[in-house]
Chain A
């Protein structure tokens, strides 16, 4: 994150709601935010994979972030949103309930995860920022995408 320390060690995060919890993704890792249309589910895929879709000619693999984090995604009736990220040259989308604004935090304000945090959340979170009335959990994109693939299919 040292590259972002131009402005008084401020880090920028794209925020999103998943299952009632506020998450922040380092803005450098976020490619775009898009509405998921024509999602194709992939039979035999790990449950974390919601499906694949065509985003401007690229095939994007959608990750069900709620499932990945052990949270229930809330169906708000509207079209599902996803945050586009890239990982080892491949395009992924993280399914979220809704996207929020971009927030800036001082790097020093990042607090460590509480030790009693759900292990699924602790596994992908690098820390927590305290905000008025709520907590924002910073998630590590690489760790989210580190999904074990079982060769048990077929």
Chain B
């Protein structure tokens, strides 16, 4: 009986979740008979099963709800009231189920209140109730064969006289925990009934499977390490196979843990519906990318924060219909939730078109709470001020109500996201709306980590929190300074608190050792950035996270441990713990020291440049933002294939490119590399030595004729060649780009570049600058429009077509609609050019259309359009 009940509770809960969602849909679309049929069928099934299991209270409730739904089918209008009562009934059923699961029996109590309401609604129409007189239990298709109780159940079901149900059994709309179909588990008779190809597996089983696979992966890595040391080993081939199979197995098991994020969103339509009733607001909820999958462990952890943020948006973000009308917006507020994959992460955005954050209120609050002084806050940008909503305890004191806009419990939300190694960002435009962007790893089981050394021991630092690596030296640009007893690093315009890892861990042997001698791992946790000083940096590695022993779990510096490829166990540093240890005192000082980030926007902006040496003694530089990672690899791991240097990198072969013939790939020792990635593809540029990271204006003064060099610029007083990354990318992958164009142009013209891909923004900016334009690059069409509404003027705009939120067509239309920008020439960049899209572009108001990788074409189009602009 226990199994039967448990099975019933699980399935009914799932059905009810569907009913929840479907009812809300039905209310908006009352003529859709299909939705109604689906709801009716689900409730009917619940009722039938309750009757069979002897659960009178549930049965009565379900019956009353079913009767009302029968009326809907007969044409009774689905009023808001009726739907509310049915939803309340469903909530009650859920409550009963909960205690049923707990106590194995129906709780005492009556539901006469709800039933009276339901009956009252049902009686309003004279039509005879069409509800079936006798319950028609449908066979519960169970997918856990081999259990006696279930077989009994089925036998009883079969023996029970049933009219063949006219409607087919409900297909579970919610994918259950997905598992690889196990053939033998599907019994023949089930298969004959057209059983769906899934089985229920407990999460524990999957967890255990995951652990086993993780261990297999480690063992494989160890084997590979051993074989690598022996040339011509006969194990090589079978091991290669084992390696592949293991990788596939790992992927397969990971997949079973993946669930669509829509599962976490399931209740949202209902929540929004209830809130909109409660608050008297009209709210439209748009869900995008519900099918995006992520690890269920992560899914569980973000469910609550997301719900919280959705409530915030509906409650505080969106205005009342009257206010919206007054503000010239449509009465119906809009909340959009979207999810998509980006690299090993999932990006979740929750955006509303409400009033946005109230900067003044946040300012007042931040000052009142002593987070920042009045004088300092005046120097801060809006964005910086908005970040205060994530400050710990920001909202707990006094009341943050509708007036303040937002902030209720955002510190809790941020903490939850921090815990899973995620990041959250907020963007708000007063009166236009507010959007939160959350970036979280797909899985917590396997993470990329930077392996570092401190006091002779190795440690792993999760890559996600690592911002960059800095080598601090005396007399360098990154000076280490002291504020009382705290050491800080002056990195560009910021002061970062520094902490030596060995000191944090109490393993420091030589206290006199200076921070100058180490590497600084610049780490970010939430809004806090700091530097962890280590003695050495090895490489990055995908590590399998294993929980700490319970005897060691209290050490906040570690989040877990892992076994490296060489078999050694190392600790995984928990950046949150380090952040706490460094303390908040330092951070508050930092805010003061941070330069305002709204520097005069018309002045030339400084760019972070990585300065390195390759071939000649003259330093070379490349914009840091273009580089995905700096790596140092063991030169012995470089392989020569087809006359090209390759290295195995994160499970893929990555081509190594030398800048010119004077640069050679090292034969032994550590080979520094600059890794560039775009999506899944990576290539590495071989360099002799990484010199520094500097912040300077990127002003190319002498254009260059030699391939791969954009020109020369003076960087920190030294003539430095600026490398054209775009020249080298196609050397690695033929289709990456085409040849670069010669720079030209005699007068500085301003270009607005709109592209949601930071890669292309960073890629094109130096190219356009080299061609003689001043470039302002923005990540979204909205930002671009805001900028122009603020009065910024440009000679020409270049925009990507495919962008989230507002695409290139909409952007062009918006520009045309505004008399101030109607004349602005717009060049569209697109990866696909078809006659249709060109035509659509002309209509939207594009002046020219260039393929995304055709930089020559782009420069030509720019020259043409700016010439037109001048003539006009």
Contact = CB atoms under 8 A, between A and B. Distances in A.
Contact of B569 (A44, A59, A147, A154): A59
B551 A46 contact: yes
B30 interface: no
Contact of B552 (A49, A88, A145): A49
A57 B504 contact: no
B567 interface: yes
Given A38-B567, A40-B571, A42-B571, A151 B554 contact: yes
Nearest to B218: A57
B568 A40 contact: yes
B219 A154 contact: no
B507 A59 contact: no
A38 to B, nearest CB: 5
A28 interface: no
A43 B506 contact: yes
Nearest to A150: B554
B398 interface: no
B225 interface: no
B160 interface: no
Given A40-B457, A42-B555, A57-B218, A90 B549 contact: yes
B555 A52 contact: no
Contacts of A43: 457, 505-507, 555, 557, 571
B568 A49 contact: no
Contacts of B558: 42
A109 interface: no
Contacts of B457: 40-41, 43
A49 B551 contact: yes
Contact of A154 (B549, B553, B557): B557
Contacts of A49: 551-552
B627 to A, nearest CB: 32
A54 B563 contact: yes
B221 to A, nearest CB: 11
A52 B577 CA distance: 20
Interface string B714-751: 00000000000000000000000000000000000000
Nearest to A57: B215
Contacts of A58: 215
A2 interface: no
Interface string B544-587: 00100111111111100101000111110000010011000000
Interface string B205-240: 000000000010011000000000000000000000
Given A61-B549, A90-B550, A154 B555 contact: yes
Interface centre among A44, A88, A90, A92 (most CB of B within 10 A): A44
Given A40-B571, A54-B567, A154-B581, A61 B557 contact: no
Contacts of B550: 88, 90
Interface in A36-75: 38, 40-46, 49, 52-54, 57-59, 61
A57 B554 contact: no
B556 A57 contact: no
A87 B219 CA distance: 24
Interface string B498-512: 000000111100000
Contacts of B551: 45-46, 49, 61, 145, 147, 149
Interface of A: 38, 40-46, 49, 52-54, 57-59, 61, 88, 90, 92, 145, 147, 149-151, 153-154
7 contacts: A38-B567, A40-B571, A44-B555, A49-B552, A54-B563, A59-B563, A147-B551
